[in-house]
Structure 1
């Protein structure tokens, strides 16, 4: 495996990555490397789980209800197809989503006892977006952002006090709770991009004044996937019904924004359930917007166009959502702040397509040069052989993916909502798209309405 060193701090980066429980690892003395984390969801039919139009049911008495999406007249149930057919119910099998294409590129690390230090010089994404200047106007105070993901490490030093645990919920098919990275580090990294604290150490998020809500949809796998020298990854499948329930709940509790770094695609139109699932996505997406909630989506990391793919559906089709492609620099130098190629240049892995993408945002280039990816907080869960959660190892890492681009938009939306408390969801989204521009030298298919300009949107 190629090793990409982090910043030179006079230490031996050839050592293996060693982290103890609750150890705080700082990037700089322990670079966790460049990981390309794909959020593409491979979809398969579930067994025994269905999403049902509640208005079509004559009785619910013999159904096991998993989630009740009351505002949109939907249920997620365990039942048999025969039972639902006899009742005349309108339904579709729930769809299982499995995180796919977790594509690491490089890692370098070592054990560290050094105190945390300011890492914002490495955050080209925040510098490019004018986030420090935007914070002179607002830090996102008074807003609430749901992170629908693998779980947030609420007591990571960069997220301490940022997560509302009372409102947080577990929608995953397991018995673990919230406020910990039970499903792996992905959700913590995403949460940090949105709202990591600006306390002078570690990293900063776009909207550090916002409150986060941990809505975990990916379950915990007690055994790490074998990924060689890379940090372990813990997650299990989720279901589309879990994701839809989390969106509805986020809207019900008054979230201003929900981020879903969960790009998915499947041949829904070909399997006979397309019309029903289309209705589900329309109801949920429109309800969220009516409640005043912007929802941001990762487009996926498989590098293909969604524009002409008429046989499949994807995460861009949830009504009212902002689907985000990824960009990143080449040759970023944190000491000088210069690049060989600008941060708005498209990433090769990003899914794209006119009509499918709403905005482009910094997600990292995805190559082996660490600094061209997105630096933020991570937390690696630990379990014993009996499945007891033992805590997490905290640190920072460079990731790349549309999973990192979507929360840039979510954080910007929180800033706009904070600066304009009377705005509804459409007005917040319009401010983001109105101030975005397509770079002259690049193709519109990568950008939708344009490249996110956080500072311009806040000033708009």
Structure 2
């Protein structure tokens, strides 16, 4: 069966396969208490409460009502802040976790088909990412996980929820993403692509909440301010109409991303999991995936790794069933995990081996009598499987750290160029799903 035929079958039949199909499609929800404002000449509106100043760009995030904005000084234009979700296929909810204590003496590299496909072992003969920095703009990266080293001094909480940073306050997702980038090669657990990089947590999700677009923009600016070589954004909102406020959001995003790129920070973005053709959806935009100066990453994955009776049905380089695509909308493809949905529905042993295995940390929350989260009372550290372009993007962010480490004089565009020049579209597959091709770290080095 050709890849295109298989993809069409999955897109049509996924909805009837037990609910573990493609990611849901949602439009970003507007907030009524916060606004993104375009300032006049970069001057902050002094009569409004500024949440994020964002130096370097002519935008700021403020808390205000719309009448207050209309009368405010220094405001050129504005739009409501919007909320953005994590964007992973529902299949992740069915994947198991592995207790950390059961693997302390047995590294999981043999189960990391993603790192094997990228040949990170050979790449590490050149560099492990020393002298570089990567920020994870996500739910939080657990500094306490035994397989991670997180720069707690530089880590920031952008949500205003008071729960701190360098912890998984918003859920396990950010710790999984951070591990894909930089899990330590310390003789236990799993390996990351760039274990030598300086990993920084930029938390934009609170417990049970969506992320505010304004917080994400502020985290991008902060990443540039601390000289991050790459910032990973495994999040998104789609579809957002291009008209009306969509034009303003696109302008704010493009301004912020262009600033970060100019400052040397390569922005690595998950393409999304709606199985959508981003090339031909002219009336909609995907935030932040379609912003200027970003590197958009689609997902690939095997079917049958370590569990199929006849070996691999699909190789690790084949497009994942859920990934967004589009020749000029996607820049690279990288391992994000795939799944045989019928096998998952039937709970065939080992079906989840086709997902991506890495670090997770699940927070233990303190709550009040009404169930509201008031604090974090530790975390449970372990390893788990997940799939999505959320998992593909950090493969590229880690690779960017390796390229930058080996070429310290490279700017963000040169790092991206090196990654794209080294990539190739696998034989028998359509460029639509790959952009420049499948990530090739060794050749990029």
Alignment TM class, shorter chain as reference: 0.7 to 0.9
Paired residue for 1:23? none
Provide the aligned C-alpha RMSD in A: 2.4
What is the rounded CA distance, in whole Å, between the counterparts of 2:42 and 2:409 in structure 1?
Answer: 39
Paired residue for 2:45? 60
Paired residue for 1:223? none
Shift of residue 36 of structure 1?
A: 8.5
Q: How does 1:157-168 map to 2 (within 5 A)?
A: 157-159=146-148, 162-168=149-155
What is the rounded CA distance, in whole Å, between the counterparts of 1:96 and 1:411 in structure 2?
Answer: 27
Gap runs ≥5 in structure 2: 1-19, 345-350, 369-373
What is the rounded CA distance, in whole Å, between the counterparts of 1:101 and 1:425 in structure 2?
Answer: 27
What is the rounded CA distance, in whole Å, between the counterparts of 2:135 and 2:194 in structure 1?
Answer: 13
What is the rounded CA distance, in whole Å, between the counterparts of 2:296 and 2:98 in structure 1?
Answer: 37
Residues 113, 167 of structure 1: alpha-carbon distance in 2 compared, 3 angstrom cutoff: closer
What is the rounded CA distance, in whole Å, between the counterparts of 2:334 and 2:44 in structure 1?
Answer: 47
Paired residue for 1:15? none
1:137 aligns with 2:87: no
State TM-score, norm by structure 2.
0.86
Paired residue for 2:115? 126
Paired residue for 1:287? 259
Does structure 2 retain, via aligned residues, the 8 Å contact 1:269–1:311? Answer: yes
What is the rounded CA distance, in whole Å, between the counterparts of 1:341 and 1:49 in structure 2?
Answer: 46
What is the rounded CA distance, in whole Å, between the counterparts of 1:60 and 1:98 in structure 2?
Answer: 29
Give the secondary structure class of the aligned counterpart of 1:354. Answer: coil
Q: How does 1:314-329 map to 2 (within 5 A)?
A: 314=286, 315-329=288-302
Of the structure 1 ranges 169-178 and 141-150, higher mean CA displacement relative to structure 2 is found in 169-178
Paired residue for 1:5? none
Of the structure 1 ranges 45-54 and 141-150, higher mean CA displacement relative to structure 2 is found in 45-54
Paired residue for 2:79? 92
Shift of residue 127 of structure 1?
A: 0.8
Residues 434, 360 of structure 1: alpha-carbon distance in 2 compared, 3 angstrom cutoff: same
1:433 pairs with one of 417, 420, 428: 420
Residues 260, 38 of structure 1: alpha-carbon distance in 2 compared, 3 angstrom cutoff: farther
Residues 102, 354 of structure 1: alpha-carbon distance in 2 compared, 3 angstrom cutoff: closer
Shift of residue 211 of structure 1?
A: 0.8
Paired residue for 1:383? 365
Give the secondary structure class of the aligned counterpart of 1:153. Answer: coil
Q: How does 1:18-167 map to 2 (within 5 A)?
A: 42-55=27-40, 60-87=45-72, 89-99=76-86, 103-104=90-91, 106-108=94-96, 113-114=101-102, 116=104, 117-159=106-148, 162-167=149-154
Residues 43, 408 of structure 1: alpha-carbon distance in 2 compared, 3 angstrom cutoff: same
Shift of residue 281 of structure 1?
A: 1.5
Shift of residue 285 of structure 1?
A: 1.0
Paired residue for 1:242? 215
Shift of residue 37 of structure 1?
A: 9.8
1:412 pairs with one of 399, 402, 414: 399
What is the rounded CA distance, in whole Å, between the counterparts of 2:78 and 2:169 in structure 1?
Answer: 31
How many residue pairs get matched?
407
Shift of residue 158 of structure 1?
A: 0.7
Of the structure 1 ranges 107-116 and 360-369, higher mean CA displacement relative to structure 2 is found in 107-116
Residues 115, 413 of structure 1: alpha-carbon distance in 2 compared, 3 angstrom cutoff: closer
What is the rounded CA distance, in whole Å, between the counterparts of 2:89 and 2:314 in structure 1?
Answer: 25
Paired residue for 1:275? 247
Does structure 2 retain, via aligned residues, the 8 Å contact 1:41–1:99? Answer: no
Shift of residue 419 of structure 1?
A: 0.4
Paired residue for 2:284? 312
State TM-score, norm by structure 1.
0.84
What is the rounded CA distance, in whole Å, between the counterparts of 2:204 and 2:24 in structure 1?
Answer: 13
What is the rounded CA distance, in whole Å, between the counterparts of 1:59 and 1:431 in structure 2?
Answer: 38
Give the secondary structure class of the aligned counterpart of 2:115. Answer: helix
Shift of residue 133 of structure 1?
A: 0.2
Shift of residue 289 of structure 1?
A: 1.0
Paired residue for 1:21? none
1:265 aligns with 2:238: yes
Shift of residue 38 of structure 1?
A: 5.3
Give the secondary structure class of the aligned counterpart of 1:61. Answer: coil
Shift of residue 416 of structure 1?
A: 0.1
Shift of residue 59 of structure 1?
A: 7.0
What is the rounded CA distance, in whole Å, between the counterparts of 1:391 and 1:36 in structure 2?
Answer: 33
Shift of residue 318 of structure 1?
A: 1.5
Paired residue for 1:332? 305
What is the rounded CA distance, in whole Å, between the counterparts of 1:103 and 1:316 in structure 2?
Answer: 20
Kindly provide the CA deviation profile for residues 279-312 of structure 1, in whole angstroms up to 9, marking residues without a partner as x: 2122111111111111100011111111111111
